[in-house]
Amino acid sequence: MSRSFNQQFDQHGAWRRGFAHRLQWLGKWLGEHDLLDQAVADRLKELEVQMRTSKVMVAFVAEFSRGKSELINAIFFAGYGRRIMPASAGRTTMCPTELGYDPGLAPSLRLLPIETRLDPHSLAYWREETARWSEIAIDMDDARQLADAMAKVAEVRQVSLDEARALGFWSDEANAEDNPMPDAQGRVEIPRWRHAVLNMPHPLLEQGLVILDTPGLNAIGAEPELTVSLIPQAHAVVFMLGADTGVTRSDLAIWREHLITEGDPGDTRIVVLNKIDTLWDALSTPAQIDAQIERQRAISAELLGMPLSRVLPVSAQKGLQGKIGRDAALMEASRLQELEAALGKGILGQRETMLRLAVEAGVGNLRAAAARILQVRQRDLAEQALELQGLRGKNVSVVRHMRARIEQEEAEFEGCSPRIAALRSIQGKLLRDVYAVLGGTALKGDMERLAAALKRPGIKLSVRKVYGETFEALRHNLREVQATAAEIQSMLHATFRQLNAEFAFTLQAPAEPDLSGFETQLSQIEQSHAQYLGVTNMLKLAQPEFCDKLVRALASRLRVVNEGAMAQLEAWSKEAIAQLHTQFKERRRNFEKRIEAVERVQSATGTLDERLAEFTAHEAALAELDGQLRDLTSMLTTREGPSAAIPGELSVA
């Protein structure tokens, strides 16, 4: 029997915790042996935090009444023995709802009033404005109280047409067929809440799972941040259809406008054909029912342009019922386990691969940095041994002369300090130039120009051109920054060569950062807007308020890209400077040890042979450390790394 998504996520969580523990232990080991410079320590900590806190978001997207909330209940909350998410006939989840866990906050359901739409601020802004949210404490041990709290996401209000129009739920255009139906008093029904966030210590949410439950087409289109930020950044999107209806016109609108973009391979999308139990018919044979389900799968796959293997039939309701009642036959008939297995394999397999690649790159850099320190120490020991061997049979004046020469070399070496300071100053200036190009002020200017272009009077037939020009400018910024990085790299190479030649350093400039991945991210964001800016949204784009929302949502996502590029550049800069400081410190230590060795020979506190024997022992210890370093880091970059025991862990730690 295939493992459930819960089981696979538990295993994924254990893998991450084990990996984080090994990273933490390796950092401690390196620190104890003075092999950890600041840049490496920062990178190691970053990897550990990434392993422990990395989030996995699954977005459930569909038109109303396709069974999203019931499927969430079946996959994640069946252990409560009842429904937690509201799932009844008609519309249930009226506002986008996020389920996750932040240990720094008390378990609660936070609700953002729909009236905040009247304010120009984005959802990202409102997340920080806690005073505007209504908060309901939840009791994890009381399933009924938890379900009652979650019922709030289904609450609605009756408002006038003017208020509905101002909040974005009513359009006066002739083709505004998605308007809600007015009642006898001319009032319409709208959601009471704009956004909901559930913070609860559920075992899966504690391990970093985030669930995003979205309402139907109208609500998705009215919140650009969902379309251009939250949904595209999800690690998987579960798009739900009704097995009885197949792909309707509104389903197809959501799919084309919000979920599929040019060049998207679709491997993060799973299409769920829900409610197959509606096709169960006592007058039909099991073979006839299966054939009908397969026909719906094939038609849906063709209409959506998806491989048949990624269109999965399921009955969320029967799956939930089967789990709660421990009914194996009903579970098998619901096909829920097949969906859970596909979710686990696709989402967690992809996420684990990404984390492994990040760790391999980070550990590779860490091993190289620590190995350089060991090489410097080994070279210094060899030089000291040769120096002492040259004292065999020499008189006191020769020894005194050697000490004077070492002190002179030390004084000359200290002369490199101003050059190191000058290098840091120049590098800092160039990096400030980089931050000026990618910083918030520059991005704000780009977004203001885009907003001004979108607000020009008339139908926005040239909107794609405006977007294209904006994104080309953003890509140009990255290329400009890449050129600056190349300039810094050239300066580092030249300076390191001089310092290596004059002061016997073994400096090696770190590889120049490659920002092409961030250009790719920009192109992906641009492509995700291509469908969104289609003819069906031209009327919305004629509304200045909607344009403001769209640009703010876009800016929040672009800010993440720019901040990622700046973080990579900063880490690269730190690595270069940290390497320089480490070797400078090692060289000072070498001078101290050389003077100490000569002093001991002068004062006859130890024979020359005894000192040479000490050097031999130190060299053997360094060779052993080098071997341990290779073994420990290799365990983190092999498939068995996190679960394998580290030799000597208990004795060394």
Tens digits of residue pLDDT in 109-154: 999 999 998 887 778 788 888 899 999 999 988 999 999 999 998 8
Residue 103 has pLDDT above 60, yes or no: yes
Residue 176 CB: number of other CB atoms within 10 A?
A: 10
Residue 351 lies in a domain: no
Tens-place pLDDT, residues 606-624: 566 776 777 788 778 888 8
Residues 376-401, mean pLDDT to the nearest whole number: 73
Residue 549 has pLDDT above 80, yes or no: no
Q: Which two tokens stand for residue 271?
A: 């299409």
Of residues 90 and 377, the one with the higher pLDDT is 377
pLDDT of residue 503: 81
Looking at every residue in the chain, the average pLDDT score rounds to 81
Burial of 463 (0-12, 13-18, 19+ CB in 10 A): buried
Phi, then psi, of 327 in degrees rounded to 5: -100, 100
User: Do 252 and 83 meet the contact criterion of CB atoms below 8 Å apart?
Assistant: no
Residue 458 has pLDDT above 70, yes or no: no
Residue 650 pLDDT level (bands cut at 50, 70, 90): very low
**DSSP string for 573-590:** HHHHHHHHHHHHHHHHHH
Residue 564 lies in a domain: yes
Residues 438-457, mean pLDDT to the nearest whole number: 82
pLDDT of residue 240: 92
Residue 537 pLDDT level (bands cut at 50, 70, 90): low
Q: Are residues 279 and 407 in the same domain?
A: no
pLDDT of residue 647: 43
Residues 568-592, mean pLDDT to the nearest whole number: 83
Residue 176 pLDDT level (bands cut at 50, 70, 90): low
Q: Are residues 317 and 407 in the same domain?
A: no
pLDDT of residue 303: 92
Residues 299-317, mean pLDDT to the nearest whole number: 92
**DSSP string for 27-94:** HHHHHHTT---HHHHHHHHHHHHHHHH--EEEEEE-STTS-HHHHHHHHHSGGGTS--S---SS----
Least confident piece of the model among 115-119, 494-498, 584-588: 584-588
Q: Are residues 115 and 196 in the same domain?
A: yes
3-state secondary structure 251-296: HHHHHHHHHCCCCCCCCCEEEEEECHHHHCCCCCCHHHHHHHHHHH
Range of the domain at 551: 398-603
Q: What is the DSSP letter of 421?
A: H
Residue 115 lies in a domain: yes
Q: Which two tokens stand for residue 340?
A: 């859970």
Residues 81-105, mean pLDDT to the nearest whole number: 81
Residue 250: which of 302, 177, 166 has the closest Cα?
177
Residues 46-72, mean pLDDT to the nearest whole number: 84
Q: Are residues 112 and 219 in the same domain?
A: yes
Question: Could you say which of 296, 318, 334 is where a domain stops?
Answer: 334
Residue 653 has pLDDT above 60, yes or no: no
Residue 3 pLDDT level (bands cut at 50, 70, 90): low
Residue 386 has pLDDT above 80, yes or no: no
pLDDT of residue 174: 45
Residue 649 pLDDT level (bands cut at 50, 70, 90): very low
Residue 79 has pLDDT above 80, yes or no: yes
Q: Are residues 404 and 518 in the same domain?
A: yes
Residue 371 pLDDT level (bands cut at 50, 70, 90): confident
Instruction: Calculate the alpha carbon distances from 533 to 210, 445, 448 in Å.
Output: 28, 22, 18
Cα 438 to Cα 194: distance, rounded to the nearest angstrom: 32
Q: Which is it for the CA torsion 398, 399, 402, 407, positive or negative?
A: negative
Residues 345-373, mean pLDDT to the nearest whole number: 77
How much of the chain exceeds pLDDT 70, in percent? Answer: 86
Residue 344 lies in a domain: no
Of residues 481 and 6, the one with the higher pLDDT is 481
Q: Are residues 313 and 440 in the same domain?
A: no
pLDDT of residue 63: 83
Of residues 413 and 150, the one with the higher pLDDT is 150
Residue 418 lies in a domain: yes
- Distance from CA of residue 644 to its chain's centroid? 26
Place of tokens 């799956």: 319
Least confident piece of the model among 115-124, 319-328, 473-482: 115-124
Q: Which two tokens stand for residue 570?
A: 């900063």
Residue 443 pLDDT level (bands cut at 50, 70, 90): confident
Residue 576 lies in a domain: yes
Q: Are residues 323 and 405 in the same domain?
A: no
pTM higher than 0.85: no
CB-based contacts of 652, cutoff 8 Å, min separation 6 = 29, 32
How much of the chain exceeds pLDDT 90, in percent? Answer: 18
The CATH number assigned to the domain holding 269 equals: 3.40.50.300
Residues 69-76, mean pLDDT to the nearest whole number: 89
Cα 16 to Cα 14: distance, rounded to the nearest angstrom: 5
Tens-place pLDDT, residues 204-241: 888 888 999 888 655 555 666 776 677 877 888 899 99
pLDDT of residue 135: 95
Cα 225 to Cα 277: distance, rounded to the nearest angstrom: 35
Residue 248 has pLDDT above 60, yes or no: yes
Residue 125 lies in a domain: yes
Cα 242 to Cα 549: distance, rounded to the nearest angstrom: 31
Q: Are residues 227 and 311 in the same domain?
A: yes
Cα 539 to Cα 256: distance, rounded to the nearest angstrom: 18
Q: Are residues 253 and 116 in the same domain?
A: yes
Residue 314 lies in a domain: yes
Instruction: Calculate the alpha carbon distances from 8 to 4, 267, 585 in Å.
Output: 6, 19, 47
Tens-place pLDDT, residues 283-298: 888 899 999 999 999 9
Using alpha carbons only, give the angle 338, 343, 345 rounded to the nearest 5 degrees: 95
Q: What is the DSSP letter of 615?
A: H
Total structural domains in the chain? Answer: 2
Of residues 315 and 8, the one with the higher pLDDT is 315
Q: Are residues 308 and 413 in the same domain?
A: no
Residue 409 CB: number of other CB atoms within 10 A?
A: 15
Question: Could you say which of 279, 302, 334 is where a domain stops?
Answer: 334
Length of the chain: 653
User: Do 420 and 584 meet the contact criterion of CB atoms below 8 Å apart?
Assistant: yes
Residue 183 has pLDDT above 60, yes or no: yes
pLDDT of residue 652: 34
Question: Could you say which of 309, 334, 359 is where a domain stops?
Answer: 334
Using alpha carbons only, give the angle 436, 512, 235 rounded to the nearest 5 degrees: 80
Cα 526 to Cα 467: distance, rounded to the nearest angstrom: 8
Residue 195: which of 213, 217, 178, 211 has the closest Cα?
213
Residue 274 pLDDT level (bands cut at 50, 70, 90): very high
Residue 281 has pLDDT above 50, yes or no: yes
Residues 337-346, mean pLDDT to the nearest whole number: 82
Q: Which two tokens stand for residue 511?
A: 């590889």
Least confident piece of the model among 210-224, 325-339, 554-568, 588-602: 210-224
Q: Are residues 299 and 431 in the same domain?
A: no
Q: Are residues 326 and 411 in the same domain?
A: no
- Interhelix angle 38-53/349-389, rounded to 10 degrees, is 160
pLDDT of residue 313: 95
pLDDT of residue 220: 52
Residue 560 has pLDDT above 80, yes or no: yes
Highest mean pLDDT among 381-390, 516-525, 572-581: 516-525
**β-pair partners for 345:** none
> What type of residue is 193?
W
Instruction: Calculate the alpha carbon distances from 172 to 38, 184, 316, 546 in Å.
Output: 61, 19, 38, 15
